[in-house]
Amino acid sequence: MENRAAAGIAFITAGIFCISINDMLIKELSGGYPLHQMVFVRSLIGLGFSLIFVQLEGGFSILRTRQPWLHAFRGLLLVAANMTYFAALAALPLADATALFFVAPLFITVLSIPILGEKVGPLRMGAVLVGFAGVVLMQRPWAGREALEVSRIVLLLPVFSALLYATNQLMTRRLGATTKASALSVYIQGTFIIVSTLFWLVAGDGRFAEGVESASVVFLLRAWVWPQGSDWLYFVGLGLNAAVIGYALSAAYRSADAATIAPFEYIGLPLAVFWGFVIFDTLPGWEVWIGMALIMGSGLFVFLRERQLSRRIARGQVKLR
């Protein structure tokens, strides 16, 4: 498959911007609606837009696949990544949750070795370790439970979500060799609709949220509520974002190497700080600032090293460092 780095970077930039809008909207609605309701409405609207993209890329025939189980597994990975991340988002400041989630590009770099067979030298692996050090710092291992304000499990949810997301994106790279981006997006939206419908059938009346104190658990299990007033606009915005995100991310990882694309996801960090300050009037603590700097610095180093090695390979110097 042709490596179109410029197109991949453009797609990932658009996708991450829409993700920042998506996160802001979901956090804004998290106090009154359950996550599975938002996911259902968002994905239903997103599916409609995705089917339009399918028509533009070749018609419904491109939805046929010889690997339905791999696509289903990829969809479930992304569903689990979203559920764990948004559960954390209900309890954590937007910038904190986003910063912890942005260990995902580091996971992508590491997992690209066994999954895609890509080569990552010791310098890039060292940079990855620096990034993980930033994650540990943001976990504040020295702080007691009272100082944290949330449980350790909630703090780890974005990191676990990042691992699931990284695996999903590497599968996108592999499956994208034979599947159009719009078809990949349709499969994802369909998986979200099925899973959120199952959530509604089991927990849609809110009985499992009764007496629960954890904001994250309540967000997952509270009863469905008919959207009030202008909240419908938020739901429509979520749906439109879902379509753009699904298409843009799939197209990005179809177009270029994972190690080239992944660092550009870091633009989501300053965007999260921006929305957190403008909408929710919060700014990160010093640990998060330093952690973000370590993660962004390591990611940029990995990216620059990848570009340098690509030039060497083009000149016939294939030794990796």
Q: How far is CA 179 from CA 13, 14, 171, 240, in A?
A: 21, 21, 12, 22
Mean pLDDT, residues 13-26 taken together: 90
pLDDT tens, position by position, 285-308: 888 899 889 988 887 787 777 666
Q: How far is CA 120 from CA 25, 30, 97, 166, in A?
A: 37, 39, 28, 16
For the chain, where are the alpha helices, taking DSSP H only? 5-29, 35-56, 68-89, 94-101, 104-116, 122-138, 145-148, 152-175, 181-203, 215-221, 231-255, 258-261, 268-280, 286-314
pLDDT tens, position by position, 226-278: 888 888 888 888 888 877 887 887 788 777 776 677 678 778 888 999 999 99
Whether the pTM exceeds 0.75: the reply is yes
- The per-residue DSSP string of 216-277 comes to HHHHHHSPP-PPPTTHHHHHHHHHHHHHHHHHHHHHHHHHS-HHHHGGGGGGHHHHHHHHHH
Residues contacting residue 19 through CB under 8 Å, at least 6 positions apart: 241, 245, 268
